[in-house]
């Protein structure tokens, strides 16, 4: 039973394979949080609430000084009547009042999981997931708040989201609507977040939480490369392999906030949701508002345990594309090879070489449409540029297919260039605030996706190309963040909704396109991994991990991305040296082995490579095809972190356990070089494995506990790969 309700004590116990989550209704009104952590068989009441009269802690009842919302572990806290910590939601009534007072009304337990209107969210069969819906109500405003908990018993995940319904007689404004809030009566956590920038996505930040708040956010209109919509609280002794970790990842691609707040009594509040800055919602009577979903993962087996849960969950219960479990093609993308300067001959010469090496998919990147010779024109004009492709896109696609390759195409559908037919005809399609000047990013403007007519234009113009041309893959790019956010189509009281309406518009477009074109493999991109979030993964099963293709940087980016996202979702390409982003020269072998540790491809001018280099690429491609199933659909284990040392190590074990591939990367050659040992993970300790290149056999226990000595070599940026098959 995933949801257990004790009627006598009014206790809800959500239970998964490894986790318990417990709440209690007290005084028939307040919903308090009791416990989130390692599964307990039966929750009988060990964590009872201890009431204590504390200074400056206000009381709802005049003569009951021990009872204060400021010191109680609240399940979905609101402000205004005594809880001075960060509230989970806020309202503003017509008279300006911002006070709210929720009372428990009742609950419902359902098999399966309802969809969240207009939003991506995890899914599962009635056997996989149960939903608990708790109803709370503010009697004075008439606002009903439904807390939704999706309990995935075997996947070991609890999801949370909230539905607000205005059952009052007047409109009201939601001023904050977080999806998750958890009050721990514990402290001493370290807070883990992933921060970065364009070309430098997802670095690890680990901060002790002593007092006050650790908060991350995006106000950029997308989830952003600056902060990933992820936060984890690590108990003091937690590590990669052991210890308790409480984490959350937000299924949303817009502005978000995540925070951990320590109070004076060593309690910690952990919250995640839509960013309240410019994030209001005006709710008419009988209208509903759905918050996006938070995926909550508790692990008692450190970060590795946490990642295994996320990877499995996203593959099975979030990514809905039919490609989720299909081997992803090895691609060549022409971007770094040609930029905007190409014609059909040049592209076909590249395709010829790609076909010779065994590459499977040719992707035509930016510059094929409108009149686009650089990045300051034509976005929005999704019509083939006949100067570059006089015989048309379909002709090119046919030629590519004739060479035995699939054909993929780049779009940046959310954008509009001022120098475009679209802007000349429809300047009102650009996101802007009436009477104010435009703010540019990469020389372009953003389309107003809060406007349904604009969404229709995007759907029609993109699907026209997809219908007319044989296209197997789409790269969906998004290269700037939102400014001038406002829309003449909405009244004053709804201007705070435009950020969220933009995301809803985007989701609507993606819903329609991915439904009409289920056979197209979509890859999302935002100048690399700038919008790598579970919301996008719901529609598109892979994301271009970073524009930075330097092998050393990619070790870190891919390592940190793997904390939540499965390796198969990360696009990773071999590019030229010196690397265009860092100027670094790394061996082709290392570039290959870093990229083949994810969803593999090339972004390099193959026509300029020597025959030796092409031979090496041919071998890499053949090797990846051999190990593809293990890499893309096996289990991934981080062994050594490039954030901590001069090395990175990781290994993969195939789903059936019969294959293992391990990689060792050493960044700089060192004097008095220490000998490095590689200890594999996830093998069967009792089985015997054969090293494919040497034929030597070792026990799984030996490979994991004793480990392999990595041969020394005097070389910067080197990599070594070991491949094993299980013998018995
Ligand atoms: C940014 C992407 O990340 C690149 O791979 C490339 O597609 C460019 N945009 C094209 O403008």
Q: What is the pLDDT of residues 73-126, one digit of tens each?
A: 999 999 898 999 999 999 999 999 999 999 999 999 999 999 999 999 999 999
d(CA 214, CA 523): 32
Q: What is the mean pLDDT of residues 125-132?
A: 98
The b/e string for 548-572 (b: 16+ C-beta within 10 A; e otherwise) is bbbbbbbbbbbbbbbbbbbbbbbbb
* Closest ligand 1 atom to Cα of 526: 3
Owner of token pair 């993308």: 333
- Give distance in angstroms: CA of 600 to centre of ligand 1: 17
Ligand 1 center from residue 601 Cα (angstroms):
15
Q: CA 239 to CA 245: how far, in whole Å?
A: 9
338 CA to middle of ligand 1, Å?
12
The pLDDT, as a whole number, for residue 434 is 87
C-beta separation of 30 from 49 below 8 A? no
Average pLDDT over all residues of the chain: 97
Range 450-475 average pLDDT = 98
Residue with CA at minimum distance from ligand 1 atom 11? 366
Q: Are 447 and 422 in contact (CB under 8 A)?
A: no
670-706 per-position pLDDT tens digit: 999 999 999 999 999 999 999 999 999 999 999 999 9
Atom of ligand 1 nearest to the CA of 365: 7
> Quick one: pLDDT band at residue 343, thresholds 50, 70, 90?
very high
Q: How far apart are the first and last CA of the chain?
A: 38
CA distances (Å), origin 625, targets 359, 363, 575: 10, 19, 19
Closest residue CA from atom 2 of ligand 1? 527
Q: Could you tell me which residues come within 8 angstroms of residue 17 by beta carbon, excluding any fewer than 6 positions away?
A: 39, 153, 154, 155, 156
Evaluate whether 250 touches 122 at the Cβ level (below 8 Å).
no
Q: Is the bond leading into 496 cis (omega within 30 degrees of zero)?
A: no
Q: Considering only CA atoms, which of 367, 391, 390 is closest in space to residue 379?
A: 367
Residues forming the active site:
477, 547
- Residue 493's pLDDT band, with cuts at 50, 70 and 90, is very high
- Chain mean position to CA 24: 32
- Residue in 333, 365, 442 to alter for ligand 1 test, most ligand atoms within 8 A of Cβ: 365
pTM of the predicted model as reported, rounded to 2 decimal places:
0.98
Atom of ligand 1 nearest to the CA of 333: 5
Nearest residue (CA) to ligand 1, atom 1: 527
Residues 6+ apart with CB under 8 A from 431: 445, 446, 447, 448, 449, 450, 482, 483, 484, 485, 486, 487, 498, 502
Task: Report how far ligand 1's centroid is from the alpha carbon of 323 (Å).
Answer: 23
- CA angle 258/445/520 to nearest 5° reads 75
Instruction: Say whether 517 sits in a helix, a strand or coil.
Output: coil
The DSSP letter of residue 625 is H
- Please tell me the distance from the alpha carbon of residue 171 to that of residue 379, in angstroms, as a whole number: 39
From CA 385, how far away is CA 400, in angstroms rounded?
Answer: 18
What integer pLDDT is reported at residue 51 of this predicted model? 96
* pLDDT average, residue stretch 539-559: 98
- Residues 247 and 252: their CA atoms lie apart, in Å, by 16
Rounded mean pLDDT, 318-341 = 98
**pLDDT tens by residue, 156-202:** 999 999 999 999 999 999 999 999 999 999 999 999 999 999 999 99
The DSSP result for 117-128, as a single string, is: TTS------TTT
- Cα(690)–Cα(536) distance, integer angstroms: 40
Q: Which residues line ligand 1 (CB under 6 A)?
A: 335, 365-366, 410, 477, 479, 525, 527-528, 544, 547
DSSP H helices, 565-717, are 588-595, 611-633, 700-701
**Which CATH code fits 3-317?**
2.70.98.60
Give CA–CA dist 115/656, Å, rounded: 33
Give the number of other Cβ atoms within 10 Å of residue 139's Cβ.
Answer: 11
Whole-number Å distance, alpha carbon 681 to ligand 1 midpoint, is 36
Atom of ligand 1 nearest to the CA of 547: 3
* pLDDT above 90 for 1: no
Cα separation values, 71 from 50, 68, 77, 113, 266, Å: 10, 6, 11, 33, 10
DSSP result, 279-327: --EEE-TT-EEEPPEEEEEEESBHHHHHHHHHHHHHHHHT--SGGGGSP
Fold of 647-726: Immunoglobulin-like (2.60.40)
C-beta separation of 572 from 595 below 8 A: yes
Q: Where are the domains of the chain?
A: 3-317, 647-726
Rounded to 10 deg, the angle between the 344-357 and 611-633 helix axes is 70
Q: pLDDT digits over 403-422, tens only?
A: 999 999 999 999 999 999 99
**Averaged pLDDT, 471-494:** 97
- Interior CA angle at 69 toward 66 and 73, to 5°? 100
With beta carbons less than 8 A apart as the criterion, state whether 258 and 276 touch.
no
């Amino acid at each position: 039973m995933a949801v257990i309700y004790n009627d006598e004590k009014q206790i809800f116990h959500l239970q998964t394979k490894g986790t318990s989550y417990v709440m209690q209704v007290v005084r028939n009104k307040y919903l308090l949080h009791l416990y989130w952590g390692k599964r307990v068989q039966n929750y009988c009441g060990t964590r009872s609430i201890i009431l204590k009269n504390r200074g400056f802690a206000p009381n709802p009842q005049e003569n009951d000084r021990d009872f204060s919302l400021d010191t109680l572990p609240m399940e979905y806290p609101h402000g205004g009547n005594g809880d001075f910590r960060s509230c989970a939601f806020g309202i503003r009534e017509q008279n300006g009042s911002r006070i709210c007072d929720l009372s428990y009304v009742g609950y419902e337990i359902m098999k399966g999981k309802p969809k969240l209107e207009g939003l991506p969210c995890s899914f599962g069969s009635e056997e996989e997931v149960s939903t608990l819906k708790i109803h709370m109500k503010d009697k004075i405003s008439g606002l009903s708040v439904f807390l939704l908990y999706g309990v995935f018993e075997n996947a070991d995940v609890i999801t949370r989201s909230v539905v607000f319904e205005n059952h009052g007689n007047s409109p009201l404004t939601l001023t904050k609507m977080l999806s998750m809030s958890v009050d721990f009566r514990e402290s001493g956590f370290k807070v883990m977040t992933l921060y970065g920038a364009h070309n430098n996505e997802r670095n690890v930040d680990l901060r002790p939480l002593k007092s006050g708040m650790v908060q991350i956010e995006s106000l950029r209109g997308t989830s952003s490369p600056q902060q990933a919509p992820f936060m984890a609280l690590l108990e003091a002794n937690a590590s990669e392999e052991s210890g308790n970790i409480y984490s959350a990842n937000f299924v949303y691609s817009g502005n978000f906030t995540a925070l951990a707040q320590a109070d004076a009594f060593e309690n910690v509040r952990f919250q995640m949701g839509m960013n309240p800055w410019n994030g209001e919602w005006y709710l008419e009577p009988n209208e509903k508002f759905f918050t996006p979903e938070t995926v909550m993962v508790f692990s008692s087996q450190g970060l590795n345990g946490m990642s295994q849960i996320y990877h499995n969950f996203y593959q099975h219960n979030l990514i809905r594309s039919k490609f989720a479990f299909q081997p992803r093609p090895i691609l060549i993308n022409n971007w770094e090879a040609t930029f905007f300067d190409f014609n059909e001959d040049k592209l076909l010469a590249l395709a010829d070489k790609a076909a010779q090496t065994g590459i499977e998919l040719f992707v035509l990147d930016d510059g094929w449409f409108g009149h686009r010779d650089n990045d300051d024109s034509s976005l929005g004009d999704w019509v083939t540029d006949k100067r570059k492709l006089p015989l048309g896109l379909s002709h090119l696609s046919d030629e590519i297919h004739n060479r035995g390759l699939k054909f993929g195409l780049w779009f940046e559908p959310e954008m509009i260039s001022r120098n475009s037919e679209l802007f000349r005809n429809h300047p009102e399609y650009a996101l802007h605030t009436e009477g104010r000047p435009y703010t540019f990013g990469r020389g372009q403007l953003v389309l107003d996706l809060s406007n349904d007519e604009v969404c229709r234009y995007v759907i029609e113009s993109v699907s026209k190309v997809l219908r007319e041309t044989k296209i197997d893959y789409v790269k969906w790019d998004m290269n700037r963040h939102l400014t001038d956010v406002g829309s003449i189509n909405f009244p004053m009281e709804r201007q705070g909704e435009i950020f969220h309406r933009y995301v809803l518009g985007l989701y609507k477009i993606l819903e329609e396109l991915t439904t009409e074109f289920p056979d197209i493999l979509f890859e999302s991109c935002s100048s690399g991994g700038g919008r790598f979030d579970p919301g996008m993964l719901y529609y598109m099963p892979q994301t271009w991990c970073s524009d930075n293709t330097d092998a050393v940087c990619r070790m870190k980016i891919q390592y940190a991305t793997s904390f939540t996202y499965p390796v198969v979702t990360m696009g990773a390409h071999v590019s030229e040296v010196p690397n265009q982003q860092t100027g670094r020269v790394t061996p082709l072998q290392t570039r290959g082995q870093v990229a083949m540790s994810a969803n593999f491809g090339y972004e390099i001018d193959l026509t300029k490579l020597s025959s030796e280099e092409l031979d090496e690429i041919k071998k890499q491609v053949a090797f990846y095809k051999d190990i593809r199933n293990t890499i893309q659909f096996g289990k991934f284990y981080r062994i050594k972190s490039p954030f901590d040392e001069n090395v990175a190590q990781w290994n993969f074990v195939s789903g059936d356990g019969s294959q293992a591939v391990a990689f060792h990367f050493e960044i700089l050659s060192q004097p008095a070089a220490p000998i490095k040992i590689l200890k594999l993970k996830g093998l069967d300790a009792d089985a015997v494995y054969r090293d494919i290149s040497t034929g030597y056999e070792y026990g799984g226990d030996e490979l994991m506990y004793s480990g392999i000595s990595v041969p020394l070599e005097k070389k910067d940026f080197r990599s070594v790969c070991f491949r094993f098959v299980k013998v018995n």
